[in-house]
Structure 1
């Protein structure tokens, strides 16, 4: 894998504004290596318990979880992969598959997703089966408080059912906003994800900090 999905789908002038320490996270993972990080999420989930039955359904496919917890230890593991539909996955698009493992008080749970470079930009396939997908717009500010941070904002959300891809109308589609930035003072990468919906507001979120490195792949995972 010579170029990452981010490098394949994001204009070079946008990536050039990234904080130098983020280039490791969003660059290509060399053959025989894996990206690993460890840190703590300040918050995970939602305090709106009426949403938990819906989140429990998504939890079955490792997308989101019916929780509201603070100070949650977690690890992230990024591996190069291929993502496609049907049996010919080996012919799919270049991707990075991420496993984020949360150590909740109730037990360990793992969130799975795969980022790939699609014809229209970055696409995040959520869950083990990738039934829900979000088209993402990448932004990097050159100035201001978030200078050098990568912000990914969903512009389209779709789901796969009965072999068909169905796009949700923008008036009802949830919106994903993910911000990854580097904190020089703490020498850590900080991440914030917010899932919101029209009229309802925030449905789910997590935010925290971690340290990340590219290491030789021992074959685990």
Structure 2
């Protein structure tokens, strides 16, 4: 079984307070299985149309999309994989790491678009590699609130953003680096998992966001 990068990167008791239903989502997927979910995003994108040309660049790699839509049906598929970071033959730290690759397919009014990312457990912590090529990565701090409205939820906040270019990894300065905030919680009353993501930048504010609810299960892989 490929280990869950969430559990590999968290302290032994770091996820102990996680809602039981979220443990399935963030746990390891057994061999021959895949995690699948369906739901609806209440909002996706940004109403700031002047940002759309920039988002169109990221859309080519399956990161973000130049849209602002409501009530968007979507599907999510999580697969355990092994990924390698670094340059072949030159990076002594290049080795296969347990990862979860997610494909979130948004059924927009003008057609389907798929967002792709891969979560890995790196020596410095949990890292999200965005897009098909993973050229943009975010180091994530993991928090599980034990009290309040988000008790039992998983909250991820980016603490560093890097760009892979020209054969190197470049860390963006804090004064210009975008900030990712993601909260996954389980709504017992609705029997649904709720997700909220916000991408913001200093001075500019919110660049992109999505939020919605879905039902999820680990099932035999029929591919």
Q: TM-score, normalised by structure 1?
A: 0.96
Q: Deviations over 1:153-187 (max 9, x none)?
A: 00000000111100000111000000000000000
* 1:124 aligned partner: 128
* 1:82 aligned partner: 82
Structure 2 CA distance for aligned equivalents of residues 169 and 22 of structure 1: 33
Structure 1 CA distance for aligned equivalents of residues 2 and 60 of structure 2: 34
- Runs of 4+ residues over 6 Å off in structure 1: none
8 Å Cα contact 2:41/2:72 also seen in 1: yes
RMSD: 1.2
* 1:23 aligned partner: 23
Deviation at 1:49, TM superposition (A): 0.3
> What is the number of equivalent residue pairs in this alignment?
218
Deviation at 1:87, TM superposition (A): 5.8
Go from structure 1 to structure 2 and tell me whether the alpha carbon gap of 1:72 and 1:118 turns closer, same or farther (over 3 Å shift): same
8 Å Cα contact 2:61/2:132 also seen in 1: yes
Structure 1 CA distance for aligned equivalents of residues 147 and 127 of structure 2: 26
Alignment gaps of 5+ in structure 1: none
Q: Which of 194, 197, 204 is residue 201 of structure 2 equivalent to?
A: 197
Structure 2 CA distance for aligned equivalents of residues 136 and 78 of structure 1: 19
* Partner-residue secondary structure (3-state), 1:125: strand
Deviation at 1:91, TM superposition (A): 4.1
* Partner-residue secondary structure (3-state), 2:198: strand
Structure 2 CA distance for aligned equivalents of residues 101 and 207 of structure 1: 14
Q: How does 1:62-141 map to 2 (within 5 A)?
A: 62-85=62-85, 86=87, 91-141=95-145
Structure 2 CA distance for aligned equivalents of residues 153 and 93 of structure 1: 21
* 1:179 aligned partner: 183
Q: Does 1:208 align with 2:201?
A: no
Structure 2 CA distance for aligned equivalents of residues 87 and 31 of structure 1: 28
Structure 1 CA distance for aligned equivalents of residues 50 and 68 of structure 2: 12
Structure 1 CA distance for aligned equivalents of residues 214 and 202 of structure 2: 31
Q: TM-score, normalised by structure 2?
A: 0.95
Deviation at 1:83, TM superposition (A): 1.4
Structure 2 CA distance for aligned equivalents of residues 94 and 42 of structure 1: 32
Structure 2 CA distance for aligned equivalents of residues 71 and 20 of structure 1: 27
Structure 1 CA distance for aligned equivalents of residues 181 and 124 of structure 2: 18
Q: Does 1:154 align with 2:158?
A: yes
8 Å Cα contact 1:179/1:193 also seen in 2: yes
* 2:35 aligned partner: 35
8 Å Cα contact 1:82/1:91 also seen in 2: no
